Amino acid sequence: MDEHHFYVTTPIYYVNDKPHIGHAYTTILADVLARYNRSLDVPTYFLTGTDEHGQKVQKAAEKRGIPPKQHCDETVVAFQELWKKLGITNDFFIRTTQDNHVAVVQEVLQKLFDSGDIYKKDYDGWYCVGDERFYTEKDLVDGKCPDCGREVTKLVESNYFFRMSKYQDWLINYIETHPDFILPAFRANETLGFLRKPLEDLCISRPKSRLSWGIELPFDRDYVCYVWFDALLNYVSAVGYLRDDGRFARWWPASCQLIGKDILTTHSVYWTTMLKAMDVPLPKTIFAHGWWLIGNTKMSKSLGNVVNPMEMVEKYGVDAFRYFLLSEMTPGQDASFTEDVFVTRYNSDLANDLGNFLSRVIKLTIRSCNGTVPAAGEKLPEDLEFEKTAMDAVGVMEDSLREMKIDRGLDAVLNIARAGNRYFELTKPWKLAKDGDTARLNTVLNVAAGALFRSAVLLSPVMPGKMAELGAALGYSEAEFAACRIAGLRTMLDPVTGRTIADTAGLFPRVEQAPVPEAKPAKAEKKAVSGAVPEGVKLISIEDFCKTRLKTAKVLSAEPVEGADKLLKLQIDLGSEQRQLVAGIAKFYTPEEVTGRTIVVVANLQPAVIRGVPSQGMLLAAKAGKTLRLLAVDGDMIPGADIG
């Protein structure tokens, strides 16, 4: 991060098809980086847009039987609408068909032509329509495009070339002496590997006889500009290059240019040598992130496994979708997407950890303090330790932004909620309320509410809508919460005392997954065994007993079943999965008293619906007269351990 300015860019996306999860991830990542920097009081500019020239766009328009510009005007809407739906806060959306961009591209072309960095020659090579690139014979893999694997076409024609080879040695030295220029570091090594062989000059034109949809070369009207040369210049044309020197000086060089790893060479070699020839400083960092995979397979339209982000947003909500993408992928590495993985992370992080902690704080404050966050009294070591966990997350998040490890920062923030649930188990505020220990209860609730506030501010760049709701639950108006900044968290010592609490009615309701049917064990032969048994007890065989699968389970959250004074609805962790149980223990345990306990459950009981609420299993308890006690194990035990 640069304390003076932060300028982040995404690639501009082709308008020949609908946006997919890869487009969404890059743009959400850029948005989150922009929001975090704004929250750190760093002047920020965020650019995204669409690439609207080239052969792929022309072919898509021809297929539809409409002019290319009309095709662009119609298809760009899908990106603009999705970015709006995803809460993208870009400062500018550039389209390469805009007059200003076209003019800047033509001026750059003329400048490089006049300096001798662009020249004309005959060319004999292999052309890939999909990538709109020429390749030499040695570049091909099994006679096909080395990047996309498509068929290539032999072409012989006159074209204009950019003297990219002229800057090869300079670029190698620049990469080797600027370790933060291409990240992650192994991507810099990939680029250096590419540069170990002689660098060819770059063909930057296409004859109009073959391709008419592009920016006309100012020095030869029979040619249009190669789409990549045109597209890359959007990063400078959008911030005033050759038009507004003051504005350009304010934002350039870019702080972080986000790209997918498949366009590393075009950015780390083409773009950098273009800038050198233009005598323009290079961006501070080009960051190449990984791909989203389905299982171990790259998403591909031809395979029919492309995830539509709009469908995920409609099903699970935009903030949950944003959180999943940022928490599941370590920037720079590939990540696997499945709906089961999505639901598991949502339930674990948002519903169980954060949602459960929020629910406990709110309900206890409403019940015990008339809905007003009390002032804290004397703080004990456990209070100070929990407060330190919340404050430490601020520093971890700041470090993770500098290191482009946002998933690590998010984990530190979610750890506040995990630590908060443990803090409640340690301090037992429901017992403090029952015992009338008001002073101690007030301190616990104040500390907990303060930690929730800090979590909300730290998570706001990722989940702006839901965190605004959390802020409202803590008594902040929309405008008040929007004004809260990460930069002020360390000096904001008491952000919650006197705030009026509002019940959120479940900020992150659990997503129920269909239970996996248990395999039916084979029938075993029954053998009678004689012996004395207690009166009224019916004997069963060991084979019958073994049909019952008893397991340990951790109670993640609990709440009353509406309209049933004896029932609690529990969310439990069975180690390999999470389930919901309905249990008749409400007369004996409050939701707070059962949350966090490790209990014993029947894991293979046929699912049932009790008072309209699905229940997948049964907990075990001992009852004598008016006393009931939950069955538990002796000492700590992981969820999902077998009993027997």
Tens of pLDDT, residue by residue over 214-257, are: 999 999 999 999 999 999 999 999 999 999 999 999 999 999 99
Cis bond before residue 43 (omega within 30° of 0): no
Confidence class of residue 544 from pLDDT cuts 50, 70 and 90? low
Give me the torsion for CA of 300, 303, 308, 309, rounded to 10°. Answer: -40
- Per mean pLDDT, which range of 20-29, 90-99, 387-396 is the poorest? 20-29
Which of 14-28, 391-405, 488-502 bottoms out in mean pLDDT, i.e. has the lowest?
A: 14-28
- Average pLDDT value for the chain: 88
Judged on CB neighbours under 10 Å (0-12, 13-18, 19+), 411 is middle
Percent of the chain exceeding pLDDT 70 equals: 90
User: pLDDT tens, 121-172?
Assistant: 987 878 887 777 778 787 888 888 887 888 888 888 899 999 999 999 999 9
Measuring CA to CA, how many Å separate 203 from each of 46, 101, 207? 30, 20, 11
pLDDT tens per residue, range 399-433 = 999 899 999 999 999 999 999 999 999 999 999 99
d(CA 467, CA 361): 16
Given pLDDT bands bounded at 50, 70 and 90, which one contains residue 1?
very low
Mean pLDDT of 199-207: 94
Mean pLDDT of 534-552: 67
Average of per-residue pLDDT across 477-500: 94
pLDDT of 439 > 90? The answer is: yes
- The rounded distance, in Å, linking the Cα atoms of 358 and 504 is 9
- Check residues 604 and 352 and name the one with the higher pLDDT: 352
- Domains in the chain and their CATH numbers? 338-488 (1.10.730.10), 542-643 (2.40.50.140)
For 587-632, the pLDDT digits (tens) are 888 787 778 788 898 888 878 878 767 788 898 888 766 677 888 8
* Residue 81: pLDDT over 60: yes
Res 527 pLDDT > 50 = no
Question: What pLDDT is stored for residue 521 in this prediction?
Answer: 46
User: Is the separation of the CB atoms in 560 and 543 below 8 Å?
Assistant: no
Considering only residues 76 and 640, tell me which one the structure prediction assigns the higher pLDDT. 76
The reported pLDDT for the residue numbered 255 is 97
Structure-model confidence comparison of residues 542 and 490, the more confident one: 490
Tens of pLDDT along 321-351?
A: 999 999 999 888 888 888 888 999 999 999 9
Q: How confident is the model at residue 522 (pLDDT cuts 50, 70, 90)?
A: very low
CA distance 244 to 233: 15
Q: Is the separation of the CB atoms in 153 and 255 below 8 Å?
A: no
Question: pLDDT at position 451, please?
Answer: 97
Residue 352 has pLDDT above 70, yes or no: yes
How many whole angstroms from its chain centre is CA 596?
28
The single residue listed with the structure tokens 């970015």 is 83
Confidence of residue 571 (pLDDT cuts 50, 70, 90): confident
Is the pLDDT higher at 6 or at 585? 6
For residue 164, what pLDDT is reported? 98
**CA distances to 171, 263, 272, 277, 280 from 175, in Å:** 6, 17, 10, 17, 16
Identify the pLDDT of residue 514.
54
Q: How confident is the model at residue 524 (pLDDT cuts 50, 70, 90)?
A: very low
For residue 525, what pLDDT is reported? 40
pLDDT at 485: 94
**Token pair listed for 624:** 């004598």
The per-residue pLDDT for range 2-27, each reduced to its tens digit, is 568 999 999 999 887 778 888 999 99
User: What pLDDT is stored for residue 4 in this prediction?
Assistant: 83
Q: Which of 241-250, 385-394, 574-583 bottoms out in mean pLDDT, i.e. has the lowest?
A: 574-583
pLDDT score recorded for residue 49: 97
Whole-number Å distance between alpha carbons of 617 and 624: 23
Residues sharing a CB contact under 8 Å with residue 202, sequence separation 6 or more, in sequence order:
161, 162, 164, 226, 229, 270, 273
Residue 320 has pLDDT above 70, yes or no: yes
Location of structure tokens 């029979």: 222
pLDDT attached to residue 12: 96
